[in-house]
Structure 1
């Protein structure tokens, strides 16, 4: 089993209303997971949504990741135009090249892009697992709903799992 961490659409354009509070809370768990993955040299994949109709375009402030998240230059970036991060992107090819079969998924928006990507991973015979408390949404109920219908792992279990994996 080889893991990768997927962080979806944690962008400034969506950092408003309840989503702002939700992203702030999710960022704490995401940042902790990022450090775990960096410590083991596991792939970290940053996904950003480009929505020309919504004026979320590369090069604009809204396209940028929120300030709480700090990807490294050598970490993979994927730009998507659909809810499912696998749809017409290089994500699957990258995952195959890296030998990844299990994705720890985090990010925004729980009921749209996160859930679509989770199901997309299943369609490609990958094992998607959501990191508990790392999902952001426009409502608290939406994040809980997605966690309730999906495979999840707590940050403590992930830490224990990663610290013992491949050793």
Structure 2
């Protein structure tokens, strides 16, 4: 089991996100539990390329302060929605014989969706804790409606197990006992 923290960068963690307070609290709790349970925390960050605020060297590219990686945490950089395409993450996880991935981060309807579906297609058991992914309003759906659509309809029992925060933490604590 690993924890995958996707695109929790300073530019993206902002007041436009649906359920921002719970999102921040829940990810902090999940990261803390992972560390206590000796579950590897892996970060994936998005780079939109030079000339944007979401590129290496810019403040917005950095991981949000409350979620900062520790010195030995792996950080993979991507430039497409899926955390697996061209990042080395897939090979890393396969080499470590990982089977289960807890996915948290941003944005529900973009990179989280692509990462969950791609992970599923590569044979991973994808776990999505409640209120640990979020997104902003778009021209079709509010952030809340996007969150509910993906977490309650699209992913659950198709591509992932969408479970409560408490159940996720309980499973993580059991992992340490194994």
- Segments of structure 2 that go 5 or more residues without pairing to the other structure are 137-142, 156-160
* Structure 2 residue 124 is the aligned partner of structure 1 residue 126: yes
Change (3 A) 1:121 1:141: same
Residues in 1 aligned to 2:14 and 2:29: alpha-carbon distance in whole angstroms: 23
Give the deviation of 1:54 after TM superposition: 3.5
Asked if 2 retains the 8 angstrom alpha-carbon contact of 1:129 and 1:153, the reply is yes
Residues in 1 aligned to 2:131 and 2:89: alpha-carbon distance in whole angstroms: 24
Residues in 2 aligned to 1:156 and 1:143: alpha-carbon distance in whole angstroms: 19
Aligned residues: 164
Within the candidate set 23, 28, 43, 2:25 is matched to: 28
Residues in 1 aligned to 2:134 and 2:70: alpha-carbon distance in whole angstroms: 22
Give the deviation of 1:163 after TM superposition: 2.2
Aligned residue runs from structure 1 range 60-139, under 5 A: 60-138=58-136, 139=143
* Structure 2 residue 10 is the aligned partner of structure 1 residue 12: yes
RMSD after superposition = 1.6
Q: Deviations over 1:31-52 (max 9, x none)?
A: 1111111112111111100001
Task: Find the residue that maps to 2:54 and give its secondary structure.
Answer: coil
Q: TM-score of the superposition, structure 2-length normalised?
A: 0.85
Task: Find the residue that maps to 1:78 and give its secondary structure.
Answer: strand
Residues in 2 aligned to 1:86 and 1:160: alpha-carbon distance in whole angstroms: 27
Task: Compare 157-166 and 112-121 and name the one that shifted more.
Answer: 157-166
Residues in 2 aligned to 1:164 and 1:73: alpha-carbon distance in whole angstroms: 25
- Segments of structure 1 that go 5 or more residues without pairing to the other structure are none
Task: Find the residue that maps to 1:68 and give its secondary structure.
Answer: helix
Q: Which residue matches 2:34?
A: 37
Asked if 1 retains the 8 angstrom alpha-carbon contact of 2:14 and 2:20, the reply is no
Change (3 A) 1:16 1:38: closer
Change (3 A) 1:47 1:39: same
Aligned residue runs from structure 1 range 152-167, under 5 A: 152-165=162-175, 166-167=177-178
Q: TM-score of the superposition, structure 1-length normalised?
A: 0.90
Residues in 1 aligned to 2:68 and 2:168: alpha-carbon distance in whole angstroms: 21
Give the deviation of 1:58 after TM superposition: 0.8
Q: Which residue matches 1:49?
A: 46
